[in-house]
Structure 1
Amino acid sequence: MKTVFITQQHSAMPHGEWHASLDRSWPALLDKAGLIAICLPNDAKLASTMLEQIDAVGAVLTGGGEHLKTGADCRSEVERVLIRWSLEKHKPLLGICRGMQALCQHFDAELKPTTGHVKSTHVLQFNGRELNVNSYHNYGFYSLPEQFEILATATDGVVESCSCPRHSWLGMMWHPERELLPTKLSYPAADNGAEPATLNALYADIGAGLIGAFFDNPQTMLTELSCKV
């Protein structure tokens, strides 16, 4: 199996501890995609060393919180390290929610507040089909720099997915890993009355297939996505 790096959340704990954490759904989803997750520490120097020493096919920038384009936030620093690594080594990056924000902000996209995008769902036209996706973000993009191709938008114009084919980057504002969580979202009746658990399994399979195809051959996959918009 191929390996990919993956970022983690950074959380304050009692007794002065700071913990790096990753929902267990992520390794499970990547396993479904035929990939092994290698967690990066929230330390730019240590992360850089791992990037040099371990030959991974690419990286996943996960969600949770907001990316800071500048400043000393340690997780944002690691995200910037991954972006430089991608540009220098020509490695593909998958950005999820916050991760997509990091990719787009690298090219000065303007992040703006959104409404109705937290604990909700959106029906999108994506990859040639209608897809119902979860939503958990307070900020988003209404336009992107010329380096990016917009792959899907919500009805209010917020960009829900994009790609940067030149650098083999793919961004999605929804969380494919959360389709594996035990608490199921309640999907709209547009899904023909299917049970939430059934829909979660379906969307988890779609997400795993998408991620697997991306890291297997990013340029081919991004070209196919662009043709279906």
Structure 2
Amino acid sequence: MRPIIGITTYVLPATWGVWRDLPSALVPHDYVESVRLAGGRAVLLPPDDLDADVLGRLDGLLLAGGPDVDPARYGADPEPLTVAHPERDAAELVLLRAALDRDLPILGVCRGMQLLAVAAGGTLHQHLPDIIGHEKHRLAPGVYSEQSATFVPGSRIAALLGDDATIHCFHHQGVADAGSLTVTGRAVDGVPEAIEDPDRRFVLGVQWHPEVSRDRRLFGALVAAATGDKEDPAACADR
């Protein structure tokens, strides 16, 4: 059987057919297809903060991108451009903390990486342009910026990506302090682009969007860890 990867979802108004602005649990299909192409079976997880029992049926957890993490989660007041969905934070943190307790393989994408950092006791920059002086991490609505990154030699992310350091970003917030996690990748301006926990089976966060390019290296590594295998970077390198 294919390993089952749970993907966290949004609850937002959606429109299709004759239906308009109907509250819907959804996630971009790129996430689902990336898991499928990597050999996993995707299951969507709507926000639910009652318990984390569903983890007993999952082999891995994918924290998808989305709105800003509530600054209250890391002891800060919201700034003018912060748009948080506290109900999603509550639900995902229940899942994340229980998944860490179970040593379940976890991949965090964009917001997912930021949530990993917050759960590890870290903090976020609420609006990067105020810190770094440019908008290159989020060029325009719906436009991914192509950048390059550098990775710490010997880290999991360096082993997975090899010499290819091209990333596709869309975010206005970023990790200020990764807490107990290790920053293993940075953009050329110093913004953290990858964090991980080398002491766990598989806990990796990336600030960019690998689902857009269906990057089998990262999703393949998650699926490999979810099957109980030690991922082979060379085997995951086929995109």
* TM-score (ref. length: structure 2): 0.72
Question: 31, 34, 44: which one pairs with 2:39?
Answer: 34
Map 1:58-207 → 2, pairs under 5 A = 58-68=60-70, 70=73, 73-112=86-125, 113-114=127-128, 115-118=135-138, 119-126=144-151, 127=158, 128-145=162-179, 147-167=180-200, 168-180=202-214, 204-207=215-218
The one-letter amino acid paired with 2:205 is: G
1:95–1:170 CA contact under 8 A, matched in 2: yes
| Offset at residue 176 of structure 1 (A) | 1.1
2:69–2:85 CA contact under 8 A, matched in 1: no
Residue 215 (structure 1) aligns with? 226
Following the alignment from structure 2 to structure 1, what is the Cα–Cα distance between the partners of residues 233 and 172?
Answer: 30
Following the alignment from structure 1 to structure 2, what is the Cα–Cα distance between the partners of residues 174 and 11?
Answer: 22
Following the alignment from structure 1 to structure 2, what is the Cα–Cα distance between the partners of residues 7 and 139?
Answer: 19
> Which sits farther off after the overlay, 23-32 or 121-130?
121-130
In structure 1, the residue corresponding to 2:217 is in which secondary structure? Answer: helix
Deviations, residues 180-229 of structure 1 (Å, cap 9, x unaligned): 5xxxxxxxxxxxxxxxxxxxxxxx343443433443458x55999xxxxx
1:99–1:171 CA contact under 8 A, matched in 2: yes
Structure 2 residue ranges without an equivalent (≥5): 74-83, 129-134, 139-143, 152-157, 235-239
In structure 1, the residue corresponding to 2:93 is in which secondary structure? Answer: helix
* TM-score (ref. length: structure 1): 0.74
Following the alignment from structure 1 to structure 2, what is the Cα–Cα distance between the partners of residues 125 and 88?
Answer: 30
Structure 1 residue ranges without an equivalent (≥5): 181-203, 225-229
Q: RMSD value over aligned CA atoms?
A: 2.8
Following the alignment from structure 2 to structure 1, what is the Cα–Cα distance between the partners of residues 228 and 221?
Answer: 11
Aligned length: 196
1:214–1:222 CA contact under 8 A, matched in 2: no
2:114–2:174 CA contact under 8 A, matched in 1: yes
More relative contact order, 1 or 2 (CA 8 Å, 6+ apart):
2
Q: Structure 1 156/217 Cα, relative in aligned 2: closer, same or farther at 3 Å?
A: farther
